[in-house]
A and B are shown apart, each in its own frame.
Chain A
Amino acid sequence: MPEESILSDEFIRELINVGQVDILVGVPTYNDAQTVGQVVQSVRAGLLTYFPRARSVIINADGGSRDGTQDLVRAASISDLSISSNIHALRTLHSISTEYEGGPASGIALHTILAAADLLQAKLCAVVSPESITFQPEWMNRLLRPLMDGKDLVLPVYQRHKFDGMLIRNLLYPATRAVYACKLREPYPSDFAFSSALASEFLSQDIWAEEQGHRGTELWMALWAVVARHKLVQAFLGTKARLENPRSDLVNAMRETAGILFCSMDSYSSFWSSPQERLDPPCNGCQPAVSLEPLRLNRKRLHQMFVFGISELEPVFLSILTPATHAELKRLASLPEDTFAYPADLWARTVYEFSVAYHKAVIGRDHVVQALVPLFRGRAYTFLTENREASEEEVENNIESLCQTFEAEKPYLLELWDGRK
């Protein structure tokens, strides 16, 4: 049984003391002391307000925090909540914290949460990010309620700043939408919910020793659910606030998004390369999803790093890109900053050529993913420039137009994939 290898004896003992539950909420953490207490309090409030009769447990899977994150989760007790509001528990709301081995890795945390859900036979499960500082108790209801109506996976939609989630808006959303014929605004969710059936099925997947079982596992789960034709739904949660110091390691973010997307394309090529019926999950309560507060982003530096990458990585790009695309990128790199623009169609072809290079392993696969980083910087520069003065509607239109370009270029991907080009 998979859970035997992932759950420690001590943790199993604690879970057995809890017994069978209706709802399990997992909170994966690693050095999140600044935010986790507030998020756990909101989760508790949400469970007690909207599911007072349900037997619930909050599982904190920690990757070895050294800032007292686990203590804060344990301390966020139900008595504090009763004092601060008029919420009264009808059942004991358990809260358990465990430190998993081999971390920190979001995939291992999710594996731990799934194994715990399987052991406790939880009917409804949710995962909440400790970085969701604007998490409202109502979000628990929006995430879990659709599962009661027979849905398998509930993915979030947030209102975010127009320049947040740049990789998701410029790569993950348009590429998954075009490749898998499925419109998911947040294919790499940080707050999401799933049924017990989906949890058990996903737990039995043979991915936990692979890269996709360590990082970007939430994205893999969403794509797998699309391929397995599970019942998906999106739920508008509210504003996702920008963290004061976002974790902006672009290389790791690229591995978690593009790396996992390319890996899934490699695994599920028979699915997406054949004609598919479009699967556009409904979005409950969706509203305009961008906000427009001013931000000070250094575009000049993005442009410089793009140009630097193009000149320094030429031997790598020659193995990955077609001569035409490479020549076009070199031409772009020679343009002065004020006239520079990375057009959507060229960006779509670049992403597709990288996915094919990953599939054919023309060089080490991790190197393929890393080589995309400087090119993404060029695309990010263009996105920032295009949308600098744009209204909510214009930003949405630009994103929609990018998605349509990716869809229009899909035949090019198929030709490359089959080796016809």
Chain B
Amino acid sequence: MWQNFIAELVRTMDEILRSVARFVPRLLEMLVIVVVGWIIAFVLRNLLRSLLKITRFDKLFEHTGARQLLQGAALPSSTELVSRFVFWVAWLGFILLGISVLGVFGFEEQLASFFAFLPRLFAAFVILFFGLLAASFFSRAALLSGVNADLPSPRLISLAVRTMIILFVGSMAFEELRISSRTVIVAFTLTFGALMLGLALAFGLGGKELARRYLEKRFERESAGEEKREREDELSPL
């Protein structure tokens, strides 16, 4: 019995040692992959950063207000952001590749689905980025036009434009990620519909008097006598 116990112990120890012997090279292999991956990702990041600097990638987005958007969100410049994104995607890929070498059960399937998810993640990121830029640009355009046309509440108009674009872009990004896409679309449709109905009611009921005065004023101007009585000289800028 004692001999059997010893034999079993030796066999177990042997198996453990063999497993360790099998695992250590894989671990080393994984570490090598992770380290090499880091080096490759680092080189990729620096190469991309230099390339984007040479092609003045930041300048390309300056006019659209990307810099302000990124500054507002306490993010680095667009060049730095893209470079870092590529670095992390590349390194994360290598880390996962390294882990797959360890031969963990079921991990390869997870790895495959992760790599399949990456393009969608990237697309959602791009949609969100450009969407936020568009929201910033168009809301400011609405604000400036509203102020220069002397419209009432230009900030409200600007906020409505920004909210609608962000809602639209957010639903697009979620759709791309396939995260509760139906719920998101329904939520977007409901919110958008409610907003439009609210605006229609607000302007329809609240603006009735304003619209009446505007139309009266407009049509009254066509009467020559009235025009002469009310007319003021226009500012001549040029």
0/1 interface trace, chain B 220-238, chain A, CB 8 Å (1 if under): 0000000000011111111
A415 at interface (Cβ–Cβ under 8 A)? no
Q: Which of A245, A254, A256, A363 has the most chain B CB atoms closer than 10 A to its own CB?
A: A363
Contact A374 B237 (CB under 8 A): no
Given contacts A297-B232, A374-B148, contact A188 B238 (CB under 8 A): yes
0/1 interface trace, chain A 278-302, chain B, CB 8 Å (1 if under): 0000000000000000011110001
Contact B62 A371 (CB under 8 A): no
A361 at interface (Cβ–Cβ under 8 A)? yes
Those of A241-299 within 8 Å (CB) of chain B: 242-243, 245-248, 250-251, 253-254, 256-257, 295-298
CB neighbours of B168 from chain A (8 A): none
Contact A296 B237 (CB under 8 A): no
A336 at interface (Cβ–Cβ under 8 A)? no
- Among the listed stretches A194-202, A306-314, A395-403, which one makes contact with chain B, having 4 or more residues with CB under 8 Å of it? A306-314
The listed residue (B65, B144, B154, B237) touching A371 by CB distance below 8 A is B144
CB neighbours of B236 from chain A (8 A): 161, 163-166, 242-243, 246, 248
The listed residue (A248, A363, A370) touching B68 by CB distance below 8 A is A363
Contact A308 B147 (CB under 8 A): yes
0/1 interface trace, chain A 42-60, chain B, CB 8 Å (1 if under): 0000000000000000000
Q: Which of B63, B65, B232, B234 has the most chain A CB atoms closer than 10 A to its own CB?
A: B234
The listed residue (B137, B144, B155) touching A370 by CB distance below 8 A is B144
Contact B147 A364 (CB under 8 A): no
Given contacts A364-B65, A365-B63, contact A305 B238 (CB under 8 A): no
CB neighbours of A188 from chain B (8 A): 238
Those of A351-409 within 8 Å (CB) of chain B: 361-365, 367, 370-371, 373-374, 380
Contact B237 A250 (CB under 8 A): yes
Contact A256 B238 (CB under 8 A): yes
Contact A167 B68 (CB under 8 A): no
CB neighbours of A254 from chain B (8 A): 237
CB neighbours of B63 from chain A (8 A): 361, 364-365
Task: Count residues of A near B (Cβ-Cβ below 8 Å).
Answer: 43
CB neighbours of A246 from chain B (8 A): 234, 236
Cα–Cα, bound, A277→B168 (Å): 56
Given contacts A297-B233, A364-B140, contact A253 B238 (CB under 8 A): yes
Q: In the complex, how many angstroms separate the beta carbon of A298 from the nearest chain B beta carbon? A: 5
CB neighbours of A251 from chain B (8 A): 148
Contact B64 A364 (CB under 8 A): yes
Q: In the complex, how many angstroms separate the beta carbon of B127 from the nearest chain A beta carbon? A: 21
Those of A158-210 within 8 Å (CB) of chain B: 161, 163-168, 188
The listed residue (B143, B146, B155, B235) touching A166 by CB distance below 8 A is B235
Cα–Cα, bound, A161→B238 (Å): 12
Q: In the complex, how many angstroms separate the beta carbon of A61 from the nearest chain B beta carbon? A: 19
Q: In the complex, how many angstroms separate the beta carbon of B148 from the nearest chain A beta carbon? A: 5
What are 25 A-B contacts with C-beta separation under 8 Å? A163-B235, A163-B236, A165-B237, A166-B237, A168-B237, A168-B238, A248-B234, A253-B237, A253-B238, A257-B238, A296-B232, A297-B232, A298-B232, A302-B235, A312-B155, A313-B143, A316-B144, A363-B140, A364-B64, A364-B137, A365-B63, A367-B141, A367-B144, A374-B148, A380-B235
- On A, residues with C-beta under 8 Å from B are 161, 163-168, 188, 242-243, 245-248, 250-251, 253-254, 256-257, 295-298, 302, 305, 308-309, 312-313, 316, 319, 361-365, 367, 370-371, 373-374, 380
